[in-house]
Amino acid sequence: MEFPVVSLMSVPGSIRPATWNAANWRSVAACSNMDTELFFPVGESSQVHEQIRLAKSVCAACPVREFCLEFAIRTIQNDGIWGGATEEERKIIKRSRRAAARRAVQAQLRAEANEVAQQSTEHVSMLDRTG
Ligand code: SF4
């Protein structure tokens, strides 16, 4: 199942009102006919933990779970359970993605620096040979 995740971010100004209904993914969501309160637990009691467990079990069987999670991350949904992840879990995912992006940039910079060093060495060797 494909939805235009990236295009959601291209709407200027307010993201959510303009795009909320643009992608029809919610119509096939496992929670589409459920009370949304289940997905917005408040507090830390054992009852809340049970609520989170129940919400996550619904998400686990949802056909648009990955899209929902991506949507929540990209549109900065700070509250509730989206795509089977709590706000804390989404923060961890975001941190992990940022770290992976930093590592990728560093690896790219190292590769480019190595290439420049290699070219420099070859150039010096050529100058030595040609005297
Ligand atoms: S992943 Fe969970 S919160 Fe998201 S649409 Fe599916 S059931 Fe609803």
Question: Tens digits of per-residue pLDDT, 51-95?
Answer: 999 999 999 999 999 889 988 998 899 999 999 999 999 999 999
| Bridge partners, 82 (sequence order) | 85
Task: Calculate how far, in angstroms, residue 10's C-alpha sits from the geometric centre of ligand 1.
Answer: 23
pTM score of the predicted model: 0.73
Domain boundaries, the chain: 1-85, 94-131
In this structure, the residues whose C-beta lies within 6 A of any atom of ligand 1 are 29-31, 39, 58-59, 62, 64-65, 68, 82-84
Number of H helices and E strands in the chain, helices first, is 5, 0
pLDDT band, residue 6 (cuts 50/70/90)? very low
Residues comprising the chain, all counted: 131
The two three-digit tokens of residue 17, written as one number: 């009102």
